[in-house]
Amino acid sequence: METNLSVSGLAVRLSGKTILSDVTFAARPGKVCTIVGPNGSGKSTLLKAITGEAGYDGDVSLNARPLDRYAPRELAEVRAVLPQHTQLSFPLTVKEVVRLGLQNAPLQMADVRDRIGAALERVDMAGFEGRAYQSLSGGEQQRVQLARVLCQVWEPRNGDLPRWLILDEPISSLDIRHQVLIMDVARDFADRGGGVLCVLHDLNLTAMYSDQVLVMKKGRLLADGKVEDVYNDDLISEAFDFPLRIGALPGPAMPFLLPQAARKTL
Ligand SMILES: Nc1ncnc2c1ncn2[C@@H]1O[C@H](COP(=O)(O)OP(=O)(O)OP(=O)(O)O)[C@@H](O)[C@H]1O
Ligand SMILES: [Mg+2]
């Protein structure tokens, strides 16, 4: 059975405006699929359609089952979502925020506590359980939200079926060590048979971690392929309306981008 996250002919209109059109791709379990593209190109809207938060035309299916045939509780078991922005309207501790990811989990109290502790450890937030979430720094809050999401899909496989991590800019507030730590968590989730679909702005970390890169521009998919297929000067420069040059490090092929390298004066 096909166990992809697949999107076909997707279109989204909001407030009478076409935000996404004709988006078709499949993300696969065991792989990290990254969406890149300029601000406003529709990356978050695409994730919102896939998670059922935004209405759409076209087809979205998870593990060969159309999204609209899942009950909310079933969806919560198969995929966890980190939105680009998370607002908490009431005061919660770190532990309480992470526990939100376990609302539907059939776990004993002690297992809940262990899972929360393990998830916080994964994101380097061990020992913060009792802290007021609002008192954390931006990057600390982001890592706690990631712990919540990880808790929800702790095991990347549910029998024969993959679970999915859907992450909208999971490392946008993180320092470089924690960026790598969190991308390692995503990689590990995929290596253990889950699927990862994430949005990133860092094109170097995208090159380092992605099996598949989707490039969005103005609500459409400009490219879909492996890093080596997508990372060429013309395509990336066109995507961002900005001159960019791809370099290559000696040794194992790993493309990198230095924005200043494209400036004519250098
Ligand atoms: N509810 C809405 N009504 C009208 N336009 C909207 C609505 N939501 C989003 N948009 C517009 O849709 C476009 C895509 O927004 P989206 O949030 O998907 O971009 P993005 O690629 O995630 O950008 P960023 O990198 O800044 O997060 C933007 O131009 C945005 O202003
Ligand atoms: Mg966005």
Tell me the CA–centroid distance for residue 181 and ligand 2, in Å.
Answer: 22
Contact indicator for 45, 216 with CB cutoff of 8 Å: no
Residue minimizing CA distance to atom 5 of ligand 1: 14
Q: What pTM was computed for the model? A: 0.96
Which one, of 4, 187, 146, 153, lies nearest residue 76 by Cα?
Answer: 153
**What is the predicted pLDDT for the residue at 33?**
98
CA within 13 Å, CB half, 219: 13
**What is the predicted pLDDT for the residue at 19?**
98
Q: Taking ligand 2, which is a single-atom ion, which protein residues have CB atoms under 5 Å away?
A: 43-44, 84
User: What residue type is 79 in one-letter code?
Assistant: R
Find the Cα–Cα–Cα–Cα dihedral 186, 189, 190, 192, rounded to 10°: 160
**What is the predicted pLDDT for the residue at 266?**
45
For the domain spanning 5-230, the CATH number is 3.40.50.300
**What is the predicted pLDDT for the residue at 1?**
67
Ordered alpha helix ranges (H), 102-254: 109-122, 138-152, 176-191, 203-209, 227-230, 233-240
pLDDT tens sequence across 188-221: 999 999 999 999 999 999 999 999 999 999 999 9
Residue minimizing CA distance to atom 16 of ligand 1: 42
Q: In what order do the strands lie in the sheet with 65-66?
A: 17-27, 5-14, 57-62, 65-66
Report residues whose beta carbon is within 6 angstroms of any ligand 1 atom: 14-15, 17, 19, 37, 39-45, 84
- E strand or H helix at 95: helix 94-99
Tell me the CA–centroid distance for residue 44 and ligand 1, in Å.
Answer: 7
pLDDT tens sequence across 212-232: 999 999 999 999 999 999 999
Tell me which DSSP letter residue 132 carries: B
**What is the predicted pLDDT for the residue at 254?**
78
Tell me the CA–centroid distance for residue 197 and ligand 1, in Å.
Answer: 18
Kindly state the tokens that stand for 153.
């899909």
Tell me the CA–centroid distance for residue 201 and ligand 2, in Å.
Answer: 10
Instruction: State how far the Cα of 142 lies from the Cα of 123, in Å rounded to an integer.
Output: 10
Number of H helices, E strands in the chain: 9, 14
Place of tokens 């909001």: 14
Tell me the CA–centroid distance for residue 169 and ligand 2, in Å.
Answer: 7
Mark the ranges of the chain whose per-residue pLDDT is less than 50: 266
Pocket test for ligand 1, best of 20, 35, 45 (most atoms within 8 A of CB): 45
Give me the residue spans of the domains in the chain: 5-230
Instruction: State how far the Cα of 213 lies from the Cα of 203, in Å rounded to an integer.
Output: 10
Pocket test for ligand 1, best of 23, 41, 220 (most atoms within 8 A of CB): 41
Strand, helix or coil at 261?
A: helix
